[in-house]
Copies of this chain bind each other. A is one copy, B any other.
Amino acid sequence: MQTIVTKRREGSGGMVGQENARRLGWLGTGRMGAEMARRLLAAGCDLAVYNRSPARAEPLVRLGAKPAGSAAELAARDIVFITVGSSDDLISAVLGRDGLMSGTAGAAPKVLVDCSTVSAEASARVRAEIADRGTALLAAPVMGNPKVVQAGKMTAAVSGPRDAFVIAEPYLNMLGRGVTYVGEGEVARTVKLCHNLFLGVVAQSLAETTILAEKSGISRQAFLACLNKSVMGSLFTGYKTPAYVNLDFEPTFTATLLRKDFDLGLAAAREHEVPMPVAAIVHQLIQSLVGRGYGDADFAALLQQEAESAGLSLVSEHADVPDGLGTSET
């Protein structure tokens, strides 16, 4: 994609040839992390990887990554990316007994890039403690699920010291569609929360309008094809289309997890005194979805709940619909 490559070049001050300027590390190669690390390897970067259960790092090693024997071993790299599952995991992976910063040799990366979704509190704590060792933290929560990453379409909001961002930016841009620097400290965490609030609202509105279309005599496939072609179409409405058409509620993100994000997002809104009437209603609808037994289903089950409230029995349309992620950008 010409356009986007161009944009990256402008945005990052020149990417070509930078792929080996820095020695990189990746801590935590679960599903998301592995997809992202794979893109750095594909771009020719010098990457060392570590995962608690080493088996999950092996596919990356086969692609050319250097295996690290411990988190602490990654401390010798210039930039270390982290993708872990929770706030506690972040703290223990970085500050814990055998963590990244536990080495006695005193080596420490210049920049730590945390791509996980963790609390602002955990992030701030790690930031403060590693600053003493001369390491800067970038909060870079990823927007997009593993399939989105694989398709080369993830992005991230990034916050922290701007000079650290300048160092990491070329590599961050290799991970997907490019990233956005949003400010100092933990503000990128808030951007992620805003993103997910928006996503939940869009999912509910999509459910409402799809059911109205269906009760008016229009197939879900036709309605969503049309919406996706319109100015309202997004990668999100595209990749949720198969779920809405064929009622595949196999979770990529459960209703319970989305409720968690709404808990946090609305708590942030309360802290900053921002009324969010629409997000608040969607929060309650997600709570209702959980109460009605769809907590472990994908949040796309909002469609099911909406149909039941409209007195409509849904059946799969068994249609062959694209998810818009079929082709990787690279």
Contact = CB atoms under 8 A, between A and B. Distances in A.
Interface of A: 3, 143-144, 148, 153, 155, 157, 177-185, 187, 190-191, 193-195, 197-199, 201-202, 204-206, 208-213, 215-219, 222-223, 225-227, 229-237, 239, 263, 265, 268-270, 272-285, 287-288, 290-293, 306, 308-312, 327
Which of the listed residues A3, A157, A197, A308 has the most CB atoms from chain B within 10 Å of its own CB? A157
Given A273-B215, A274-B310, A277-B277, A230 B195 contact: yes
A212 B292 contact: no
B182 A218 contact: yes
Which of the listed residues A234, A276, A308, A327 has the most CB atoms from chain B within 10 Å of its own CB? A276
A166 to B, nearest CB: 16
Nearest to A280: B280
A194 B213 contact: yes
Contacts of A223: 182, 191, 194
Contacts of A191: 213, 218, 223, 226
Given A194-B223, A309-B288, A272 B187 contact: no
**Across chains A and B, which 7 residue pairs bring their CB atoms closest together, nearest first?**
A291-B311, A180-B226, A288-B309, A194-B209, A231-B235, A201-B205, A275-B287
Given A291-B308, A310-B274, A144 B205 contact: no
A208 B177 contact: no
Contacts of A144: 230-231
Nearest to A223: B191
B273 A277 contact: no
A232 B290 contact: no
A303 to B, nearest CB: 12
A223 B195 CA distance: 9
A233 B230 contact: no
Nearest to A269: B212
Contact of A281 (B215, B232, B281, B306): B281
A94 B205 CA distance: 36
A225 B287 contact: no
Given A208-B279, A278-B205, A230 B311 contact: no
A190 to B, nearest CB: 4
A222 B280 contact: no
A278 B276 contact: no
B226 A231 contact: no
B229 A177 contact: yes
A178 B229 contact: yes
B278 A201 contact: yes
Contacts of A182: 218-219, 222-223, 226
Contacts of A308: 291-292
B310 A208 contact: no
A327 B276 CA distance: 35
